Chains A and B, each alone.
Chain A
Amino acid sequence: MRRIGIITLAALAFLGLSALAEGNIKAGFIYVGPIGDYGWSFAHNEAREMLDQEFDWLETVYVESVPEGEVETFLDQLVAQGCNVVFATSFGFMDGTLAAALRHPDVIFAHCAGFKRAPNMASYMADFYQVYYLNGLMAGALTKTGKIGYVGAFPIPEVKRHINAFTIGAREVNPNAEVHVKWIYEWFNPAAAKEAAEALIAEGCDVFAFTEDSPTVVQVAAEHGLPSFGHYSPMYDFAPDYVVSGQLVHWEAIYRDFLKKIHDGVYTTQNLQHVDYWWLLSQGAVEVGAKPGMMINPVFEDALKAYVVDHPVFGKISVYDLVKTRYNQMADPGVTFDPFQGPVYDRKGNLVIPEGMWPSVDTLITLEWAVEGVAGPWPGEPEE
C-alpha cells in the first residue's frame, strides 16, 4: 500500500498541484499504520475525512504505513506537494518532524503523542486515562471472581498510565479487585491478543479491558459469556450483550480547533513553540462508551445500579451514579477530580503522588510505577 502512496505522491508533486487559493489550507496527514487497522491510524483518518467535508477552505491528503525512520522523506514530499500544514501522527515521527519543521520554516507542523515543539511545530494528544478510570469503576462492580483481565500492548508509560487509572477505578468500588495484566508486545496482533485473553480466562479473570488495535479481546470474552470494555474504535457491535463501555477517541476535536485557529490567523509559523494540546474529557477529545452516545450499555445498567458502595466522599451510592458523578466532575469545563488525585501509592508501598496533589502532565507521560492492585509482570518498574 505504501508503494501506491509513494507513486501517487510523486505524481501529484510532479503535476504541481500547489496553487492554493488565498487563505486556503492544504493539510497532509502521515500515518504509521494502514488506515484499515480499525485502531490508531483508522481513527486519525476518520477525523481527517470528517473535517475535509466540514470546511470548504480545507483540502487534505494522506500517506499511510510510513515507517518511523523514513518519515522525513514523506514530510518533504507533502511540502513539495503544496501542503501548508502537516500532521505526523506517531510518537516515533517526533525527531523527523522536528528536523522537517526546521527545514521548512514556512510550513506548520503538528506532531502527535510527543513532547518536542518549535515555532512552527505544535504537539497534541487525546488521552484516555480518565476514561479508563471510569471503565475501572464499572469493571470493579461487575467482577465476581475479583480478577479483572487486561491485555496490554507494550509496557510503556501511556499503557501503564491507563492500566493504573483503570485499577484505581476498580478498587474504588471493590477494594479486593485485582487487575491481571498480560503483555503481548505488539500494537496490533489479533492472534496474540486472543491467546493472551484465553490465558487470562484460564486463570479466572471474568471482566476484560485491553490496549490492542483490534476487537479481538471483546470477541473472545463474549465467546465465554464475559463482559469487556471496547478500546479506541466503536466495538459495541462485536458483542452487544457483553460490551459494557469503552474508550472512544475524537481526534477531530483537536484537528478542528487547530485548523480553525490557523485559518483565523491565530496560529502561525511563528507562535507554536508552546502550543501543546493535551485534550481529555472536558475538551471532548475522548468519550466514554462502546459506541458514540452510549456511555453504559443498557444491558448492564441494572447490575451497576444494584451495586451500592459506601463511598468516602459521596456516602451510599450506586456504581451507576458514581460513574455519572465522576464523569461530570471530569467532563465539565472546571474539572474538579483527577483519578490520580493524591495520595497514590505504588504497589511497592511508595507514595508517588502526595496527599491532595494532582499529577502534572509530565508525571503522567513518564509514569512507570504500578498502583496497588495491579497483578502480573511490570517491565521497567522502578526499584523501591
Chain B
Amino acid sequence: MDWQSWLIGIVGRALAFGTPLLWGTLGEIYAERAGVVNLGVEGMMVLGAFSAFAVAQSTGHPGLGILVAAVVGGIAALIHAFLTVTLRANQYVSGLALTMFGLGLAGLLGRGWEGIPLRQPLPSVTVPGLSKIPLLGPMLFEDQSILTYTGLILAVVLWLLLYRTRWGIVVRSVGESPATADALGVNVFLIRYLCVIFGGVFAGVAGGFLSVEYRPAWTEGMTAGMGWIVIALTIFAAWDPLQAIWGALFFGALYHLSYRLQAWLPPELLKLMPYAFAILVLAIAGLSGRKRGAPGALGVPYTRGEK
C-alpha cells in the first residue's frame, strides 16, 4: 500500500475526529485555568448534540443548530458554575452529576428524534486552490469541516489571549491563587463563572459538530465517552491551548490507526492503544516531578477570607 494514501488517511481522519476533541479541550482548558474542574463535558456535549440536531432538523439551518448548541452548552455549564463557585460544592461530584443529568435529559428530550436523517447537514468544505496541492491538498483541504479550521484558529487565539494579554494573566491568577487575585481586586467569582460557561459553550459546539456534520443524526448517548477523552486531553495538553491541537490530532490519528492496522496487529491491543497512550502521558507527567502546568488551585472552591 502506498505511503501517500496512508498519510492522507491519517492526517485527514485525525483532523475530522480531532475536531470535537479540540473544541471540547479548549473549553475545558479555560475552565480549569480558572481553577474549576468540570467533569460534565460529556453531558454538555450530548446536550449540544441533541439541541443542534433538533434545531437543524426543524429549521433546516445546521449553522443555527451549532449556535443553539453553544448556548445550551453554556447554560448547562452555568449550573456547574452555580453549584461549584457560588455554593462551593465539590467540583468532581457536581461535574459527574452534570454528565448524568445531560445524558438523561438529552435522552428524554430526544425521544422521537431517533432514526431520522438530518435533512441538511453542515456542508464540508474543500478549499479552492489549496486542495489542488499534491499530497497536502487532499490531506488538509479536502472535505473538511469549517469547524475544524475555526477550531485551529481559535486554539491560537486562545493561546495568545491566555499568555500574551492582561486578561489571560487574570484568568491564570484566579486558577493559581484566587486569594492573591482577590486581594489585587480581581473578581474571582465572575472570572470563574465566565470561564466555566465558556467551557460549556465550546463543549456544546463539539457536540453539535457530532450530530449535524460528523454523523448527521441523533441517537441517545451518541457522544459515547468522547467527553472523557477531552478531560484526559486537557491534562495531556498541560492546560495549553496550542498543545491541545497536537493532543487532539494525535489522538485522532491513533484512533484512525487503531482500525487501519487491524490486519497486522491484534485488534484488542489496537483498541486500547489511544487510552494506553493517555495513561503513559499521565504517568510521565507525574514522574517528571512538576505538575506540568496544573493550575495551583485546581479543584478547590474559593471562599473569601480563608487562607
Contacts and interface: CB of A to CB of B under 8 A. Distances in A.
27 contacts: A3-B104, A4-B104, A34-B220, A36-B220, A37-B220, A38-B114, A182-B259, A184-B271, A185-B268, A186-B224, A189-B225, A190-B210, A190-B219, A190-B222, A192-B224, A198-B259, A199-B13, A200-B259, A202-B260, A203-B1, A213-B219, A214-B215, A215-B115, A215-B217, A237-B116, A377-B266, A377-B267
Nearest to B100: A3
A233 B224 contact: no
B147 to A, nearest CB: 15
A184 B9 CA distance: 18
Category for how many chain A residues contact B? 35 or more
Contacts of B302: none
Contacts of A338: none
Contacts, number: 116
Contacts of A3: 104
B9 A36 contact: no
A182 B224 contact: no
Interface of B: 1, 5, 9, 13, 17, 103-104, 107-108, 110-111, 114-117, 210, 214-217, 219-222, 224-226, 255-256, 259-260, 262-263, 266-268, 271
Given A192-B224, A379-B268, A1 B256 contact: no
A1 B221 CA distance: 11
B114 A42 contact: yes
Contact of B215 (A199, A219, A375): A219
A194 interface: yes
Interface in A192-236: 192, 194-196, 198-200, 202-203, 213-216, 219-220, 233-234
Contacts of A194: 214-215
Interface string A356-381: 00000000000000000001110100
B9 A199 contact: yes
Nearest to A197: B259
Interface string A132-172: 00000000000000000000000100000000000000000
Given A185-B271, A219-B117, A38 B219 contact: yes
A327 interface: no
A195 B13 contact: yes
A300 interface: no
Contacts of A183: 262, 267, 271
Given A37-B220, A199-B256, A219-B216, A191 B262 contact: no
